[in-house]
Amino acid sequence: MKYSAINSTLFSENRRRFIAQMKPNSIAIFHSNDRMSRNGDCHHAYRQHSDLFYLCGLDQEEVVLVLYPNCPKGNNFQEIIFTKQTNEHIAVWEGYKYTKEDAAATSGVDSVYWLNEQQPLLNELILLADTIYVNSNENDRADEDYPSRDVRYALQMKQQYPGHGFERSQKIMKSLRMIKSDIEIALMQKACDITNVAFRKVLATTKAAMMEYEVEAHIIYEFMRQGASGHAYTPIVAGGGNACVLHYISNNAPLVQGDLLLMDFGAEYANYAADLSRTIPVSGQFSPRQKAVYQAVLNVKKAAEMLLVPGNNLADYHKEVGKLMEVELIGLGLLNADEVRKQDSAKPLYKQYFMHGTSHHLGLDVHDLCDRYSPLAEGMVFTCEPGIYIPEEQIGVRLEDDLVVRSGQALNLMRDIPIEVDEIETLMQAR
């Protein structure tokens, strides 16, 4: 791992909070992600399952976490980790793997066994329990073609233990992962700080005739140099009209003098995500029209941030942001005030120029696990990312920061990243 060791109290506290919501005499089982084949004998870079990492902090394949708080077998069996036993061959070909001692120190779980010890012990524990908590992907944005290791084992257990009751771990995980602890917020701040360095590098180097992928290269260079594991998600580097394609990821076009460059990227640090959007002028200076559109988006963003307060809810929040956007679009001459007053409320006219939502939960995943119908609460972390897209003018502007909900005013984790027109132009013209 490239990140500094995380205090194991984070994972111990996360387990304590999960256990507090389990039914009596129940057992919960969590699996690491699979290693995913790429081609031939190669694999994609490994990324740990966010739920498993949240509960034990082990960043390695072939890990199983078992929680059984009421285990009649004794205290040593209330929390157990099973992990892959290393050997000389693995050490030579793959390098370091957790020892039992290191796995215990990282996770705060005292009872660590090798995977080859799992079957008889886990079977005994399951037979003592009445209920099994199984984990599946309940992110409502998910679209999976391949069942995870958690799901495969859940299906196997339902066949092997048909007399047991089964419960969904994700209902508990959603309620827990939405609220970030101080340690988590510090890790997310680190991811945002790395993203800040990368963006400032872009401001110092971007110019006409560069390729979009050259800008992306500067970003990943700074990510890796600063200790990030890489991108938290596939980056968008979109010049000119490409910025009007919301999920543009080709990043292979030349930058043109006079165009805008929209970027959406964020570093991943200790598995926690940053999520930044900025739009800059390739020439280093906005045209009057570009500046007007940019300022309109910034106005909406600043007003939207003030709505990210405890007790609000995302549905009402997005409606209010839509009203803010209508005012700005009328001011830009893109919407007609009379037509807006007569519009079908189910099909607001602003959606022609601002098609996506303004905010989503952020954490271990860029679209973090959540119950989107829960009221906003202190400790939740949201993006705030309004945008205006005008294909006929080859203009796309999106601005995005990451904010922690607090009583009063949200804490902006990207407060040090340049965003004002004057800041952007000054830094770019100093190249």
Is 262 in contact with 397 (CB distance < 8 Å)? yes
Give the whole-angstrom CA distance, residue 359 versus residue 280.
21
Q: What is the mean pLDDT of residues 404-427?
A: 97
Q: What is the mean pLDDT of residues 261-276?
A: 98
Residues 339 and 194 in one domain: yes
Q: Which of 160, 176, 192 is the last residue of a domain?
A: 176
Residues 162 and 305 in one domain: no
Residue 361 counted as domain residue:
yes
Give the whole-angstrom CA distance, residue 338 versus residue 307.
27
Is 412 in contact with 402 (CB distance < 8 Å)? yes
Residues 130 and 188 in one domain: no
Residues 110 and 60 in one domain: yes
Residue 372 counted as domain residue:
yes
Domain of residue 91 covers 9-176
Residue 1 counted as domain residue:
no
Q: Which of 176, 207, 236 is the last residue of a domain?
A: 176
pLDDT above 80 for 430: yes
Supply 23's token pair: 């039914």
Residue 3 counted as domain residue:
no
Please write the tens of the pLDDT for every residue from 14-34.
999 999 999 999 999 999 999
Nearest in space to 51 (alpha carbons), one of 67, 39, 37: 67
Please write the tens of the pLDDT for every residue from 45-76.
999 999 999 999 999 999 999 999 999 999 99
Nearest in space to 185 (alpha carbons), one of 275, 286, 272, 59: 272
Residues 46 and 118 in one domain: yes
pLDDT above 90 for 2: no
Give start and end residues of each alpha helix (H) in 94-211: 100-107, 118-128, 149-160, 169-177, 182-205
Sequence-ordered list of residues with C-beta below 8 angstroms from that of 388, at least 6 positions apart, any chain = 293, 296, 297, 325, 328, 329, 332, 334, 353, 354, 395, 396, 397
Sequence-ordered list of residues with C-beta below 8 angstroms from that of 173, at least 6 positions apart, any chain = 18, 51, 54, 135, 369
Give start and end residues of each alpha helix (H) in 244-313: 288-305
Q: What is the mean pLDDT of residues 390-397?
A: 98
Residue 74 counted as domain residue:
yes
Residues 223 and 343 in one domain: yes
CATH number for the domain spanning 28: value is 3.40.350.10
Residues 161 and 269 in one domain: no
Question: pLDDT-based confidence at 93, cuts 50/70/90?
Answer: confident
Amino acid identity for residue 362 in this structure:
L
Whose tokens are 């006219």? That residue is 349
Residues 188 and 154 in one domain: no
Can you tell me whether residue 135 is helix, strand or coil?
coil
Residues 103 and 210 in one domain: no
Q: What is the mean pLDDT of residues 404-431?
A: 96
Q: Which of 142, 160, 176 is the last residue of a domain?
A: 176
The widest CA-to-CA distance across the chain, in whole angstroms, is 75
CATH number for the domain spanning 378: value is 3.90.230.10
Residues 170 and 189 in one domain: no
Give the whole-angstrom CA distance, residue 135 versus residue 171.
9
Domain count, the chain: 2
Residues 189 and 147 in one domain: no
Q: What is the bridge-based pairing of β-strands 411-412 and 26-31?
A: unpaired
Residues 134 and 246 in one domain: no
Residue 2 counted as domain residue:
no
Question: pLDDT-based confidence at 145, cuts 50/70/90?
Answer: confident
